[in-house]
Amino acid sequence: MARSKLNALVRSLTLAASVGAPCLAAAADLLPPPPPPPPPIEVGGGWYLRGDVGASVYTRPKYTEAYDYTGYPDANRSFGNEVGGGGFAGVGVGYQFTPFLRGDVTGEYRYSTGLRGSEYYKGPEFDNGLGSYGVNKSSSNFDSAVVLANAYFDLGTWYGITPFVGGGVGYAFNHVSGYSTNQQFTSPSYAYDYGHPIYDCSCGAPSYNYAPVYDSNGNPVYNTNSGSKFYKSKTSGSFAWALHAGLAYDVSDALKIEVAYRYLNLGKAETGPGFVPCCTGSLQAIKVKDIEAHDVKIGLRYYLGGLVAAPLPPLMPEPIPGPLVRKY
């Protein structure tokens, strides 16, 4: 009797399983698929850091109020002003907006071998065709701090090399220190020609010409005067702008090396007021205009993008797929 009841229970459970399994499979087919894993998170995006070093050659600037020893017209004067060559180093941060457009903000310190100037002049001619002449020479130290906002256009990449052009605008803090001038002025010696008196009448007192002095060989005697002026140091701000052209090489996806040319206009600079050691008066400051540099530089760009954060694990484990159910 007990065996008959056990066999009846087993047949009931088997029948329930055979009927319920297709229903459970159909229900599993109706469940929504599990959510996809979150996308990778890129750290840094198109941001990059840069550093540059280079050398500079400056064009000849214009000096104003640099020399005021004489009032001779410019036709009798010639100048030889220059800014000595030097170097620079800078850093910056930028962003790659598109494969062809990027921009950065840079700051750099520049130094040179100094501002140098010279003025040669010829004075008015005196008796017997003799004249005066002289030279003024100046020297000082020059350095600058420059901040620029730049934009570049990358023109495509071939074999890992990308040519580019660009431009920038910014501000230069130009510093002039230790400025001084020295004058050497040479002119004929003059004296009254007492050996050749001039009589207006036979009974009157004679007069004498104020004539050049000659030595025993008949050569005119010259004398030389000298003097110096000194000027206080000063830092002055000026609008600056630049033009860029160069090549970049892909060392890796994140690291680029650049070789570039840059034209940089630093604007103007000036000294503080000047003084003469033996005098108490103040002299007008010396201004230097049109300070232009031609730079050759090497730079590195390191992109902060490319680091990917691991996705978060799912909140619930994915369900195990059920058996494939075919419906006829």
Is 63 within 8 Å of 286 (Cβ atoms)? Answer: yes
pTM: 0.69
Q: What is the pLDDT at residue 228?
A: 84
pLDDT tens by residue, 43-92: 456 899 999 999 999 998 877 655 544 555 554 556 677 888 999 999 99
pLDDT tens by residue, 162-202: 999 999 999 999 999 999 888 777 777 777 666 667 777 66
Residue type, 212: P
pLDDT tens by residue, 91-128: 999 999 999 999 999 999 999 988 888 777 776 665 55
Spatial CA neighbour of 46 closest among 9, 100, 91, 86? 100
Average confidence (pLDDT) over 139-152: 95
309 confidence band (pLDDT: 50, 70, 90): very low
Beta bridge partners, 41, equal 309
pLDDT tens by residue, 241-289: 999 999 999 999 899 999 999 999 999 999 998 888 777 678 888 888 8
Q: What is the pLDDT at residue 263?
A: 98
Q: What is the pLDDT at residue 86?
A: 93
pLDDT tens by residue, 6-41: 565 556 556 555 555 555 455 555 556 666 665 554
Is 119 within 8 Å of 139 (Cβ atoms)? Answer: no
C-alpha pair distances (Å), 89 with each of 35, 175, 246, 254, 320: 52, 17, 17, 22, 62
Residues 6+ apart with CB under 8 A from 99: 154
